[in-house]
Amino acid sequence: MQFEKSVDIHASKEKVWSFIWDVDRFIACVPGCKEAKTVEAGKRYAATMVEKVGPFKVEFPTTIEVLEREELSRIKAQASGADNKIGSRMKIDLDVRLQGDTDKTTLSFTAGVDILGKLAALGHGIIKRKADQVLDEFAQAVKKQLEGDS
Amino acid sequence: MLRRFRLEEPGSVSEATELLGRFGESAKVYAGGTELLLAMKEGLVQYERLVNIKKLRLNEVARDNGAIRIGALCTHHQLEQSALLQQTLPALVKLENNVANVRVRQAGTLGGNLCFAEPHADPGTLLMALDAKMIAEKGGSKRAIAAQDFLVDAYETSLGADELLTAIEVPVPAPRSGIAYLKFGYLERPSVGVAVAITVNGGTVSQARVAVGCAGPAPKRVAEAEALLQGKSTDEATRNLARAGEIAGKASQAISDLHGSQDYKEHIVGVLLKRAFQAALAQC
């Protein structure tokens, strides 16, 4: 499943960039993400993703690995995790880009999301819709956090 | 493999809702079990307790003040066989006759089907077009929830965690009414379902209700499509069907999946809406 999102933020690129690397604040913007910690600063992080669709709840202990980093402009990362109780795995390939000037930054990202295992029994459409909602909420939460600062 | 759980056997609706309130998310209502037990066996959900409500005698179909009251524990098979429904709501009988397969119809209940809110289930769509109310009880209190407010999202209803769906009330259709539910799919569950309920007086469609389901996360009433039919002559309403179908297609919130692409499902909604309207009109 491929997703593309973009959000305009009234803040400088520097501010957005430093926000992305502030793990505690950044993770607070990811719906269902908890217990985030830095394994190796700038390279590897760990968190637990909890999502719910009706009575179905998944909990993915997740590793986030930063694959590429171009200062102030781009981050490529991969998040992967497994819920062994339900027997499902998740992998997200994330490509984040920053464009803008001193007043405004466009934060855009593409996310390739793969969900494998029993969770797929819920149906591709339902999972896709849920992932889309999560990414929308994330983009809006980042905007709110950063614009709330100014 | 089914994990161990404790089976609670309440003797009344109040006892059942008290148990649900006390144990919260660790307990779940057990009725027919056709969806719940499959999900539990697959390990998709886990509950410490199942609250067995099978003995609560919520399985009558009766006429009640201008409405048909269907007990939430009525099985699909029971509804297929109900003489009262065959006489008053034949469209519901036809729908029930085509729910899933004979094994599911024997054990699965209408209430369970609605509460599980599986997106591809049939009954919710028709019940919306029939203007049905869901009766939810908790302790000694009772409230009625319109069908379109009950089914809110995929696998989600507006029923409180400590409420029990005890009955579904469907108004007896007015004279010169026609009702049709049509579905289409090529997998085990339907890709699209459309329900139309109309009343015709003196060549005018005096009331029209349209609902679409299965294509998206939850069934929807489509007021904008209804407005193109209601208050119009039958000829004008017929001419408006293509537009109403387009609107209903968009309103279905169709999702691209194994059941078909979004465009395809939206198109099928339009086709079924037209056919369902014509089938309903032929009954008036």
CATH of the domain at A32: 3.30.530.20
Q: Higher confidence at residue A131 or residue B83?
A: B83
Residue B187 DSSP label: S
CA distance B177 to chain A (A): 35
Position A148 scores a pLDDT of: 79
Q: Does residue A116 register a pLDDT over 90?
A: no
Q: Does residue A150 register a pLDDT over 80?
A: no
CA-nearest of B203, B208, B184 to B265 is B184
Position B227 scores a pLDDT of: 98
Position A149 scores a pLDDT of: 59
pLDDT tier for residue A118 given thresholds of 50, 70 and 90 = confident
Residues of B in contact with A85 (CB under 8 A): 43, 46
Cα separations in angstroms, B10 against B33, B56, B164, B166:
17, 8, 12, 14
CA distance B116 to chain A (A): 9
Q: Which helix (H) or strand (E) holds B234?
A: helix B234-239
Q: Is B161 in CB contact (< 8 Å) with chain A?
A: no
Rounded mean pLDDT of A14-25? Answer: 89
Residues of B in contact with A57 (CB under 8 A): 45
Q: Does residue A121 register a pLDDT over 80?
A: no
Q: Is B141 in CB contact (< 8 Å) with chain A?
A: no
Query: pTM of the predicted model, to two decimals?
Result: 0.89
How many Å from the N-terminal Cα to the C-terminal Cα in chain A? 35
B209 φ, ψ (degrees, to nearest 5): -130, 135
Position A87 scores a pLDDT of: 84
Position A117 scores a pLDDT of: 85
* Mutate: best of A126, A128, A133, partner B, most B CBs <10 A: A126
Asked if A118 lies within 8 A of B42 by C-beta distance, the reply is: yes
Q: Is A128 in CB contact (< 8 Å) with chain B?
A: yes
Domain count, chain A: 1
Please report how many Cα atoms fall inside a 13 Å half-sphere around the Cα of residue B269, on the Cβ side: 33
Range of the domain at A13: 2-148
Q: Is A52 in CB contact (< 8 Å) with chain B?
A: no
Residue A120 DSSP label: G
Asked if B44 lies within 8 A of A129 by C-beta distance, the reply is: no
Residue percentage of chain A with pLDDT more than 90: 45
Position A36 scores a pLDDT of: 87
Residues of A in contact with B43 (CB under 8 A): 85-87, 118
Cα–Cα dist B27/B164, whole Å = 13
Asked if A56 lies within 8 A of B42 by C-beta distance, the reply is: no
Q: Average pLDDT across each block of 10 residues of chain B; the chain has 284 residues. List them in order.
A: 92 97 96 93 92 96 95 97 97 95 95 96 98 96 97 95 97 97 91 98 97 96 98 98 98 90 97 98 96
Rounded mean pLDDT of A48-58? Answer: 88
Residues 6+ apart with CB under 8 A from A40: none
Cα–Cα dist B219/B209, whole Å = 13
* Mutate: best of B44, B45, B151, partner A, most A CBs <10 A: B44
Position A86 scores a pLDDT of: 82
Q: Higher confidence at residue A121 or residue A80?
A: A80
Q: Which helix (H) or strand (E) holds B278?
A: helix B262-283
Give the pLDDT confidence of B238-274 residue by residue, as tens digits: 999 999 999 999 999 998 888 899 999 999 999 999 9
Q: Is A123 in CB contact (< 8 Å) with chain B?
A: yes
Asked if B43 lies within 8 A of A85 by C-beta distance, the reply is: yes
